[in-house]
């Protein structure tokens, strides 16, 4: 009879088709049953992730007219914060990259998982570009126009130009067939990938900003208007990285 340690090691690489698997299923030990039940739940999760992955690929390909068409996904991170840039990303994926199974809307994933997936996205991308839109530009144009301009720049700077562009809830002034997809990061693999690239790039930027302005705790709230962040703004005043047209900063500066 296999020890629990041996069972655990075998299950790490098991498919369920192994000859010893039937014996394991018949093992009445509580520890053995816990291991097999955990393995089964994990396999079900992986199956659902694979199905979701395939559905997202089919969604992206539904906007294509032939096999050679390339789809770019575009998304942003940081429209709502009181400080820091808005970051946009455009990405064209290698369509069937299995490494990207589990890729989802960045808001549904942990910071560690986003970092891991960002590396895989860059590795499996035909082309990608990340654009940082400055606080000055946000204050000059307004956040909507600044985001739209940033997204347009991200697409224009792709080393390979796409046939179709899918954008999360935004219309872009470009000469490429473009579709604005509501909640696109939950439906499109390419948009979800762009979401992760934008979010991880912005988080890294805000972590670096924290080093320069530790009192504001940018590494904790990424510039969003949390209670602690607003308290720090009231105490120390806005920095050059705060958006002066956003409330409550606009009112604080008038005092």
Both 137 and 231 in one domain: the answer is no
19 vs 226, which has greater pLDDT?
A: 226
Cα(5)–Cα(253) distance, integer angstroms: 63
- List the structure tokens of 232: 């720090």
Share of the chain above pLDDT 90, in %: 76
Both 180 and 219 in one domain: the answer is no
The arithmetic mean of pLDDT across residues 88-102, rounded, is: 89
The yes-or-no verdict on residue 248 having pLDDT over 80 is: yes
Task: Give residue 94's pLDDT band: very low, low, confident or very high (50, 70, 90).
Answer: confident
Both 161 and 223 in one domain: the answer is no
Residue 66 lies in a domain: no
Task: Give residue 97's pLDDT band: very low, low, confident or very high (50, 70, 90).
Answer: confident
Domain count, the chain: 3
pLDDT of residue 2: 84
Both 105 and 184 in one domain: the answer is yes
Both 119 and 173 in one domain: the answer is yes
Task: Give the pLDDT confidence of 119-162 residue by residue, as tens digits.
Answer: 999 999 999 999 999 999 999 999 999 999 999 999 999 999 99
Both 48 and 15 in one domain: the answer is yes
Both 89 and 189 in one domain: the answer is yes
Question: Which residues are within 8 A (CB) of 20 and not within 5 positions of it... i.e. 6 or more apart?
Answer: 2, 10
pLDDT of residue 237: 95
In this structure, of 29-33, 61-65, 197-201, 230-234, the range with the lowest mean pLDDT score is 29-33
pLDDT of residue 98: 83
Both 123 and 192 in one domain: the answer is yes
What does pLDDT average to over the chain?
94
Domain containing residue 224: 209-254
Residue 30 lies in a domain: yes
Residue 32 lies in a domain: yes
Residue after which a domain boundary falls, among 175, 199, 223: 199
Cα(104)–Cα(66) distance, integer angstroms: 26
Residue 204 lies in a domain: no
Both 84 and 139 in one domain: the answer is yes
Supply the angle between the helices 30-61 and 4-11 in degrees, to the nearest 10.
Answer: 10
The yes-or-no verdict on residue 35 having pLDDT over 80 is: yes
Both 77 and 174 in one domain: the answer is yes
Residue 126 lies in a domain: yes
Residue 122 lies in a domain: yes
Share of the chain above pLDDT 70, in %: 100
Both 55 and 79 in one domain: the answer is no
Residue 110 lies in a domain: yes
Looking up residue 180, the CATH number of its domain turns out to be: 3.30.420.10
Residue after which a domain boundary falls, among 199, 221, 243: 199
Both 92 and 171 in one domain: the answer is yes
């Amino acid at each position: 009879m296999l020890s629990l340690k041996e069972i655990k090691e075998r299950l790490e690489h098991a498919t369920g088709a192994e000859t010893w698997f039937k014996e394991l299923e018949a093992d009445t030990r509580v520890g053995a049953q816990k291991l097999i039940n955990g393995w089964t739940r994990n396999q079900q999760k992986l199956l659902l992730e694979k199905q979701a992955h395939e559905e997202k690929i089919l969604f992206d390909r539904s906007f294509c007219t032939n096999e050679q068409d390339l789809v770019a996904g575009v998304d942003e991170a940081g429209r709502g914060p009181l400080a820091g840039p808005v970051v946009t990303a455009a990405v064209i994926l290698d369509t069937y990259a299995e490494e990207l199974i589990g890729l989802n809307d960045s808001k549904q994933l942990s910071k560690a998982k986003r970092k891991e997936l960002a590396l895989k996205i860059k590795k499996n991308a035909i082309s990608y570009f990340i654009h940082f839109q400055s606080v000055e530009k946000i204050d000059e144009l307004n956040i909507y126009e600044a985001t739209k301009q940033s997204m347009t720049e991200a697409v224009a700077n792709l080393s390979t130009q796409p046939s179709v562009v899918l954008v999360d809830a935004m219309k872009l002034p470009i000469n490429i067939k473009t579709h604005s997809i509501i909640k696109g990061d939950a439906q499109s693999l390419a948009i979800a990938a762009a979401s992760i690239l934008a979010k991880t790039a912005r988080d890294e930027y805000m972590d670096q900003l924290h080093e320069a302005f530790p009192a504001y705790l940018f590494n904790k709230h990424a510039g969003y208007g949390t209670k602690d962040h607003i308290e720090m703004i009231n105490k120390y005043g806005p920095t050059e990285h705060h958006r002066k047209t956003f409330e409550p900063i606009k009112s604080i500066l008038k005092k």
